[in-house]
Amino acid sequence: DFCQAEGKKRPSENLGQVLFGERIEPSPYRFTFNKKETCKSVCTKTYDTRKPEDKQKLDFLKKSMLLNYQHHWIVDNMPVTWCYDVEDGQRFCNPGFPIGCYITEDGRPKDACVINSEFHEKDTFYIFNHVDIKIYYHVVENEALGARLVAAKLEPKSYKHTHPDNPDCSGVPMDISNKANGEVKIAYTYSVSFEEEKRIRWASRWDYILESMPHTHIQWFSIMNSLVIVLFLSGMVAMIMLRTLHKDIARYNQMDSTEDAQEEFGWKLVHGDIFRPPRKGMLLSVFLGSGTQILIMTFVTLFFACLGFLSPANRGALMTCAVVLWVLLGTPAGYVAARFYKSFGGEKWKTNVLLTSFLCPGIVFADFFIMNLILWGEGSSAAIPFGTLVAILALWFCISVPLTFIGAYFGFKKNAIEHPVRTNQIPRQIPEQSFYTKPLPGIIMGGILPFGCIFIQLFFILNSIWSHQMYYMFGFLFLVFIILVITCSEATILLCYFHLCAEDYHWQWRSFLTSGFTAVYFLIYAIHYFFSKLQITGTASTILYFGYTMIMVLIFFLFTG
């Protein structure tokens, strides 16, 4: 319940912003370039606690101050930041500022209340109803444009204006006691000043926000950590491949006489069964198709992000890019699914194509739709309008599905993948397996290493999704992505080799699930993050968090598998 802008149109948003629930509203704070304003009144809100609707609005304000809700303001596509000193003499720039703050009953200041010693009344809320805005500009020398805005900073203040009609912005802070009754008047005011800043170029105006963002040095630590895992793994894989296979093949080449040939051992024994089609081959081929689609999408999106096309300055660009790419990449999905299904000896190609185009996207869309219904029910501004839902469905049905059909057509037209050895008529008996070559322990072990590569990055990504921090480390992310792809492949090759040596030839599903199990660790981490980092209360919010997490887990599962 803040001041509203009268009769201004809402700026339009792109697809990514709508999907992420970013809505931009016009503001009643008006500036004219280089015109200094001091203590200009915006509006006054009056709450009579005896009226139930007023009391409800005031209680909502109190709750949001208690939970440290933030204002996010934008000037000329730049976030208005609140910069303050933290320890070690560093300045931290926060792209939002709190609505207010609270002093507890035993006199402890919470959150932003530490900035002013005048906030000392116990069990009291202080609302930041005045802002001092400072706009920095850079005069363009060679062009006739005049000036460009390079930074906007503000200081939140709290004043109890004695005359709301002509405010003077001085005196005691605006306190709202928790037990206050009667009439509460909050007058909102602002001051704005302009300052020329010659050092900041317009092109690098985002830097000061990013410089004060948390710790890039942890990142190098995490990259080194992942690289060590990768080196260790590739060493293991190379050793096994070179030493064992070399030895095995040398032994086979020595066998000339037929008597010796009876004593085959290890993985050579299962050559007659290794290409036996897996159980549920249909589902596996569909997963492989969708996974390929997601893999290419992630690669291209991150590549563009590295080149700087999807910086935080282009709001919603990342999500838009990902969705559009996903829609356009129907063809590889259909092709891969069809090729594998055909090599598994499948006949029902229509079912295969339909499942590839509808199963995984359908699950994601259904989940998304349910989340959206909850948001609608709560009356949230993040709810996606009906028109956008129809647009997404149109993208999926009219572009993605036909492309999947085209891919599948080419996949089925090609000859099935030739196997180097014939499959025996009668399936071989699988001997008793030791503990670590049984399917479940192998799959659980396989997910640990890839997860070890990404979990530090995961913390920053979850922060940027749930705590509204900027995420800009796409270079790091691209590196981690490459490392993750290598680790998943190598860990799977290793474990697959072990269980082939133990004469267990069911390798197709196991190789998919071994690295796909990383997604389960991702889910466990997300649950841990929910309980340790986020103070989320209320059923709707909890359902939303886990609903969106499940979408991410499914996508990640298909991608790693």
pLDDT of 261 reads 54
Percentage of the chain exceeding pLDDT 90: 45
Helix (H, G, I), strand (E, B) or coil at 440: helix
Q: Tokens standing for 333?
A: 């999905």
Own/partner pairs, 313-317, CB within 8 angstroms, 24+ separation: 313/77, 313/206, 315/13, 315/14, 315/16, 315/17, 315/22, 315/77, 316/13, 316/14, 316/15, 316/16, 316/17, 316/18, 316/19, 316/20, 316/22, 317/14, 317/16
Beta bridge partners of residue 3, listed in sequence order = none
Among residues 187, 189, 216, 199, which one has the least CA distance to residue 133? 189
Closest CA to 253 of 240, 239, 268, 241: 268
164-217, pLDDT tens digit by residue?
788 888 888 999 988 878 888 999 999 999 999 888 888 888 887 776 665 556
**Cα angle: 52, vertex 56, 61; to 5 degrees:** 150
pLDDT at 155: 93
SS3 assignment, position 414: coil
pLDDT above 80 (res 251): no
Report field, pTM of the whole predicted structure over 0.95: no
The pLDDT tens digits of the residues spanning 276-296 come to 999 999 999 999 999 999 999
How far apart (Å, rounded) are the C-alpha atoms in residues 514 and 70?
42
pLDDT band with cut points at 50, 70 and 90 for residue 558: very high
- Is the model's pLDDT at 256 over the cut of 60? no
d(Cα 316, Cα 23) in Å, to the nearest integer? 11
One-letter identity of residue 465: I
List, in order, residues 6 or more apart from 162 with CB less than 8 Å away. 168, 171
Query: Which CA distances in Å does 110 have to 59, 77, 104, 157?
Result: 18, 31, 7, 16
What are the tokens at 304? 């563009």
Among 325-334, 437-446, 505-514, 547-556, name the one with the lowest average pLDDT.
437-446
Q: How far apart are CA 518 and CA 449, in angstroms?
A: 8
CA dist., res. 174 & res. 159, Å (int): 5
> How do residues 448-502 score in pLDDT, each as one tens digit?
888 988 887 888 889 888 877 777 778 888 988 998 998 899 889 888 988 888 8
